[in-house]
Structure formats: C-alpha cells, structure tokens
Amino acid sequence: MSDQVTQKVLSTMASVKHIPQERISLESTLQELGVDSLDTIIMLSELEKEFGISISDDEARSVRNVRDIVEGVRRLTNGAALNSAAAAESG
Amino acid sequence: MSERRVAITGLGVICALGHNTAEFWSALREGKPGIAPIQSVDTTKLRFQNGAEVRQYNPAEHFDPSHTDLLDRFAQFALIAAREAVRDSGIDLTPNLRENTAVICGSCVGGQCSQDAGFVELYRHDRPRVHPLVIPRTMANAGASHISMELGTTGPTFTISTACSSANHAIGQAFGMVRRGEVKLAITGGSEAPFSMGFLKAWEAMRVMSTDTCRPFCKDRRGMILGEGGAMLVLEPLEAAQARGAHIYAELVGLGMSSDAHHITQPSIEGPVRAMRAALNDAGIDPEQIGYINAHGTGTPSNDPTETRAIREVLGAQANRSAVSSTKSMHAHALGAAGALEAVATVLALHEGTLPPTANFTVPDPECDLDIIPNQARRTAVECALSNSFAFGGLNAVLAFRAYPN
C-alpha cells in the first residue's frame, strides 16, 4: 500500500503545480520542481485532508524533496487504516 | 507652496503592553513582552497557543452600551487610542480646525471578529440571519469613521489596507497632507483585532506562527505571534505646534514606499532597500544620521535575514553603528496596527533617549548580524530613526523620524 501514498503525493504535487505527474520523481527536489513556500503549504494541506493527518510546522520545514514528503506521510499514517480506506475506494 | 515641517504632538496606545501610552512605554523600556496564552479563542484546536491580547479590557469602561453595539473590537481600539492622542496633544478642536483635520487609519482585516461571529450563526447554528450591524462593524473604515464622528472632524477621512504595512502607509499619507498644507491637523495610526477562530486558523495554515514566543533575529526563532491593539498619533505643522506651545515629541520627516513586484508572501531585499532609501531621500538625511531602526522584525525564518541584508545595503558601514530592534518581540504582530505601535515606540525612543530592546533574545543568528539591542533597553540619544513595515504582497512603507529638542 506504500505505492498508494507515493501515487497520492505525486498526483497532489502535480495538481498543485499544474505539471504532468510524469515530471515528478521521488528524487526530485522541491527547488527543481519550482515548488516555493506557498506551494508547499498548499500541498501539505491537501495531503493532511487526504490522509486525515496533521503535519507539524517543524516537519513541514524539514521537507526538501519528494521522498521526504512520501516518507513523512507514511510515518504519520496508520497503515491499516490506509489499507481499509483503499479497499473501500477500490470496492 | 513651501512644505511644512511636521510635528508629532499627541500619542495614544492600547495593546497587550498596556491601556495607554505610559504603560506601553514602561513595558517597552523594561523589555517585558505582552505575549501569553490566548484567552479569547479556544486554542485546543490550534497548532499555536500564544498571542498578545489586550488584557483586563472592559469595553464598558470606555463606551456606553448602545455605542458598543456599533463597534467591533478593532474600532474600539482605534477610538480609545485616538481619544488619548488628541487629549495628549492638548489641541483645541475649533470648528475651523475640525473642517481641516484628516483621520487616516490603517487596518488589515477590519472588523473580522464581527464577520466571523456572523458566520458562526449561519454555518454552525444554522440560523437564518446575522446581526444587522455586521456590515457597519466589519467594514475596514469603521475605525476612521467613528473617530471622525466622535470628534466632529470633517476633513479627509479614510482607511488604508496594505496588510502589515497598513499603518505606515496611513501615517505616511497623513504626513504628506500636513506637509503639503492640505490639512491643519491629522489623527493617524492603525488598529487591529485579529483574534477569531476563523482568522487564527487561516494564520495557522500559513505555517508562519511560532509555537512559543516571538524571537526576532534569533537563531532559534520559530515564527510570528499575533497581537492586537490600536495606536494613534497627532500630526500638525511644526510652526503651529510651536505657536500654541504644544509639547513636541519628535518630527516626522520622511516617507519611503515601494512594491517588490516579486511574490505574494516571500519578501525581497530590493523592495525594502528602495523603500528605506526613499525615506532617507524624502527626509533629506544621510545613513550616518540613523541611530536607530525599529525593524519590521517578524521573527519568521525568511523576514529577519532578508531585512538584515536590506538594512546593510542601505546603511553600508553605518549598519555596524546603528541599533536595530524589533518591538514585535513584546507587542507582537498587530498587522494593520503594527506600524502605528512601532511609530509610537520609535517616537518615544527619540524623545526619551532610550532604545527599546528586542526581547526574548536567546542565540544570535549569523545571518542577522545587526546590533539588535538584546533584551535590555539602551540609554542612547539618537538624531534620526527609521520604522520599517514590509507587507505580504510585497508592499513596503518606511517612516523617518527626527528627534526634536524640547
């Protein structure tokens, strides 16, 4: 189910930046993607809504690349809850 | 027509540091912050808990009940500060003077508490209507209008809303009108009352709020703290003030304005540089005459180093000699009132020969390598001072003041 987190982070970033998702990889830095501080807070807000999590300001400030975000979201989400949400969605 | 010199002859303040100018100055001089856990809003659903509210405030001590119904908290603060400033100036508002008096106020969000309360009725309580006075309480010009109505002044009266630069822009416009002889007197400043759940949540979402206190220019600064209050100044031609034997606190000598044209929230160096240079040019003073700068100094990661670099670029070698402090470390960031609180702090610094400190100072940040007057006020007579305001939206307004020998 970790791919679901990755996919959601990538699609959220693509949507916030209005760029094709294919342009974004786990190793992309926010700077490379042209993600500024305002884009970052919008993106994190979308992810908080999507996953029902709360990302602290300290965690938000430490984010440098896409992998940081994916790993941060994974840490904050409950795997089981995510699985059942995904199952409900696919069902 | 030759330009008039502009004297500041009256001051009025209400904020977390006190209910009048004397209390405000006493706290600034002692480096005592007014930052504490927020009481007017339930903070259990917020990521930050601290703010700088006006404590022990009872509207009934200032207004009769029917008057209070018309006044959002931000307009109450505007009126209380204006009353004190006019009383302090000792001016006799004759019918002729009233016609030639401007009231120019700054406010970022006007009576948003009244609007927020109205929306709670609609969206949470599912009521079919809001209080009929939500509009006149919410409108950003309410503070200026109520001052005009109470004092009977009928000259140019308006509110400027440029986020955190609102009050500096307002004071700057009033300054220009007095200097050019368009009015004989101006009551000017700003007021703000930002503590509503809706508005605090909006600030939380910006991720610029400190979870402890406001530590401008410190290595471990964590962001800004919101404050509330009002501050007003009375401006009049220096000659008129001298003629009536008024007490003159200082002279307002310059205004510099610029737009970054860069980013809606990220500060630039060039915009503040141009605003500070414009203020110096307008005042006809050299960097070497600037002994003190009341910084914008929000305590956010991005403002403070940017402002440091801008100050260094404008002052050059003088940046190693000028003292700089952020009084937001004590009264916090009162948005549209911030510039007015800081103008009063700067005027009193010149008048008293005491520079207010940057409170809550812990660890220096090499990127903010200015003499920031850590924690303790400094006895120093300075000739001229600047007060900086740099707003979201990249709108900058800088005021220049000169000490007046009484």
Note whether A61 contacts B211, CB cutoff 8 Å.
no
Which position has the token pair 């007017």? B40
Give the pLDDT of residue B2. 82
The answer, for A76 touching chain B at a CB cutoff of 8 Å, is no
- Strand partners for B185: B101
The answer, for B206 touching chain A at a CB cutoff of 8 Å, is yes
- In this predicted structure, the answer to whether residue A37 has a pLDDT above a threshold of 80 is yes
Q: Which member of B205, B222, B223 has the closest CB to residue A41?
A: B205
Nearest to B6 by CA among B354, B282, B314, B273: B282
Which position has the token pair 């006895």? B379
CA-based nearest residue in chain B for residue A48:
B205
Q: Which member of A36, A54, A57 has the closest CB to residue B207?
A: A57
CB B194 within 8 A of CB B109: yes
C-alpha angle with apex B317: B311 to B322, nearest 5 degrees? 60
Interatomic CA distance for residues B131 and B133, integer angstroms: 5
Amino acid letter at B310? A
pLDDT tens digit string along B223-261?
999 999 999 999 999 999 999 999 999 999 999 999 999
- Strand partners for B374: B358
- In this predicted structure, the answer to whether residue A87 has a pLDDT above a threshold of 50 is no
Interatomic CA distance for residues B318 and B286, integer angstroms: 10
Interatomic CA distance for residues B163 and B59, integer angstroms: 26
Question: Rounded to an integer, what is the distance from CA B121 to the centroid of its chain?
Answer: 32
Q: DSSP assignment of B259-302, as one string? A: E--S-SSS--SHHHHHHHHHHHHHHT--GGGEEEEE------TT
Q: Is B23 helix (H, G, I), strand (E, B) or coil?
A: helix
The answer, for A42 touching chain B at a CB cutoff of 8 Å, is no
CB B232 within 8 A of CB B216: no
CB B85 within 8 A of CB B166: no
- In this predicted structure, the answer to whether residue A1 has a pLDDT above a threshold of 50 is no
| Residues counted in chain A | 91
Interatomic CA distance for residues B130 and B120, integer angstroms: 9
Task: For residue B138, give every residue at least 6 positions away whose Cβ sits within 8 Å of its Cβ, in sequence order, or none.
Answer: B72, B110, B111, B112, B114, B115, B118
Nearest to B177 by CA among B6, B399, B39: B6
- In this predicted structure, the answer to whether residue A78 has a pLDDT above a threshold of 80 is no
CB B333 within 8 A of CB B388: no
- Binning pLDDT at 50, 70 and 90, where does residue A83 land? very low
Give the pLDDT of residue A86. 46
Give the pLDDT of residue A85. 47
pLDDT tens digit string along B301-337?
999 999 999 999 999 999 999 999 999 999 999 999 9
Chain A residues in contact with B265 (beta carbon < 8 A) = 37-38
Number of Cβ within 10 Å of residue B46's Cβ equals: 18
Interatomic CA distance for residues B138 and B222, integer angstroms: 31
Would you give the DSSP letter of residue B351? Answer: H
Would you give the DSSP letter of residue B108? Answer: S
CB B85 within 8 A of CB B91: no
The answer, for B271 touching chain A at a CB cutoff of 8 Å, is no
Chain B residues in contact with A57 (beta carbon < 8 A) = 47, 207, 209, 211, 222-223
C-alpha angle with apex B304: A66 to B276, nearest 5 degrees? 130
Nearest to B358 by CA among B377, B345, B344, B386: B377
Measured between CA atoms, how close is A42 to chain B, in angstroms? 8
The answer, for A32 touching chain B at a CB cutoff of 8 Å, is no
Interatomic CA distance for residues A10 and A13, integer angstroms: 5
Q: Which of A37, A43, A46 to mutate to test the interface with B (most CBs of B within 10 A)?
A: A37
Chain B residues in contact with A44 (beta carbon < 8 A) = 207
CB B377 within 8 A of CB B30: yes
Would you give the DSSP letter of residue B4? Answer: P
Please name the helix (run of DSSP H) or strand (run of DSSP E) that holds residue B386, with its range, or none. strand B384-391
Amino acid letter at B1? M
CB B229 within 8 A of CB B13: yes
Chain B residues in contact with A56 (beta carbon < 8 A) = 47
pLDDT tens digit string along B127-170?
999 999 999 999 999 999 999 999 999 999 999 999 999 999 99
Q: Which of B46, B207, B225, B266 to mutate to test the interface with A (most CBs of A within 10 A)?
A: B207
Give the pLDDT of residue A3. 84
Give the pLDDT of residue B217. 98
Q: Is B151 helix (H, G, I), strand (E, B) or coil?
A: helix
Amino acid letter at B238? L
Measured between CA atoms, how close is B353 to chain A, in angstroms? 40
Pairing type for strands B229-237 and B185-192 reads antiparallel
Give, for all 406 residues of chain B, the pLDDT tens digit.
589 999 999 999 999 999 999 999 999 999 999 999 999 999 999 999 999 999 999 999 999 999 999 999 999 999 999 999 999 999 999 999 999 999 999 999 999 999 999 999 999 999 999 999 999 999 999 999 999 999 999 999 999 999 999 999 999 999 999 999 999 999 999 999 999 999 999 999 999 999 999 999 999 999 999 999 999 999 999 999 999 999 999 999 999 999 999 999 999 999 999 999 999 999 999 999 999 999 999 999 999 999 999 999 999 999 999 999 999 999 999 999 999 999 999 999 999 999 999 999 999 999 999 999 999 999 999 999 999 999 999 999 999 999 999 7
Note whether B207 contacts A36, CB cutoff 8 Å.
no
Chain B residues in contact with A39 (beta carbon < 8 A) = none
Its sign, for the CA torsion B126, B129, B130, B135, is positive
Sheet holding B185-192, edge to edge: B157-160, B101-106, B185-192, B229-237, B6-15, B250-259, B395-403, B384-391, B290-294, B323-325
Active-site residue set of B: 164, 296, 333
- In this predicted structure, the answer to whether residue A81 has a pLDDT above a threshold of 80 is no
Q: Which member of A41, A54, A61 has the closest CB to residue B206?
A: A41
Structure tokens at A39: 């884009």
